[in-house]
Structure 1
């Protein structure tokens, strides 16, 4: 079956927002007088913003509200998002997106991020013209590793699952693609830590490895 559609995850594949979230959290902590250590911050991995704010407020006896803390964090994150000179697309991904687009491959964004964050990324890096659709997992009933988001993305591309490929960098995303029975390329970068890639059909370290001509042993690139 020929490759007809690529379903992109966003965070960790197109951009890496974790450094921005870290900077935003620490600026927020400082503004409320909370001296959070790197070790304490590491314990928040995977926790929702509300939970982080609650924990810090309780731990340091802060005289504020969770809502105030969350608002400061969101505002700082937005300022960093548009103003931090170090924040950019992951190396090589724009070239890969352009390559697929030039070769008539349909592109769908299937991310767990909020629609607001997705739209911010697409606006900042001018990606809308390459993608025929965007799906936010935050709007769905089930989240990764449930396969719903990739099944919907394949439907949006109007292609059978066998003609699609998912690009993912996380354990949950790879498992979601596996459960959707869609070919999955696991992208493993220097920033990737503690993720499980055993269920990915292929694992790559450079987006050059996902050019159409290099996928010929997995997909028949001619209809």
Structure 2
């Protein structure tokens, strides 16, 4: 079956917002005058902002609401998003996106991020013109490793799952693609730690390895 659509995860695949979230959280902790250990911060991985704020309130006996704390964190995140010099697209991803687009491959974004963050990324880096659809897992009932986000993305592309490929970087995302029965290419980034790639059909560390002539043997 020829490849017709590529379903991109965003965080860790197109951009890496994790360092920005980290800076925004630690700036927030300073303002709240609380000392959050590395272990506690690590335990927040993958949790929603609301959940993190509720944990902070109970652990440190804070008198702010979770909305108020989330608001502080959000404003710091926005500031870093637009002003942090180190924040950029992941190396090679723009070239890969353009390559697929020029070759008539449909591109769909399937991310767990909120639509607000997705739109901020697309606007800042001028990606809108390449993608024919975007889905935010934050709007869905189930999140990865549930396959829903990728099944919807395949549907949005108008292509059967066997003509699609997912690009993911996380254990949960790879498992979601596997459950959706969609070919998964795992991107092993310098930042991704302790992720399990065993269920991916191919693992790459350089996006050039996902150009059409390199992956034609799979499709």
Shared fold, TM over 0.5? yes
1:105 alignment counterpart: 105
- 2: CA distance between counterparts of 1:148 and 1:59? 34
**1:159 paired residue number:** 159
Residue in 2 aligned with 1:78? 78
Shift of 1:67: 1.9
Question: Shift of the alpha carbon at 1:87?
Answer: 0.7
Q: Deviations over 1:51-78 (max 9, x none)?
A: 3223333333334332221110011111
Residues 146 and 55 of structure 1: is their aligned pair in 2 closer, same or farther, counting only changes over 3 Å?
closer
Shift of 1:216: 1.8
| Counterpart Cα distance in 2 of 1:197 and 1:116 | 29
RMSD of equivalent CA atoms: 1.3
1:107-122 aligned at under 5 Å gives the runs: 107-122=107-122
What secondary structure sits across from 1:216 in the alignment? helix
Please give the secondary structure, in 1, of the residue aligned with 2:193: coil
178 and 22 in structure 1: CA distance in 2 versus 1, 3 angstrom threshold: same
Separation of aligned partners in 1, 2:178 and 2:63: 47
Stretches of structure 1 that go unaligned for 5 or more consecutive residues are none
The residue aligned with 2:199 is: 199
Deviations along 1:86-120, one digit per CA (max 9) or x if unpaired, are 11111110010011111111100011111111111
The secondary structure found in structure 2 opposite 1:108 is strand
Per the normalisation by structure 1, the TM-score is 0.94
| Alpha-carbon displacement from aligned partner over 1:26-67 (angstroms, at most 9, x marks no partner) | 111111111223333223223322232233333333343322
Moved more, 117-126 or 141-150: 141-150
Q: How does 1:1-223 map to 2 (within 5 A)?
A: 1-219=1-219
Q: Secondary structure at the match of 1:71?
A: helix
- 5+ residue gaps, structure 2, are none
- In the aligned structure 2, how far is the partner of 1:58 from the partner of 1:135? 33
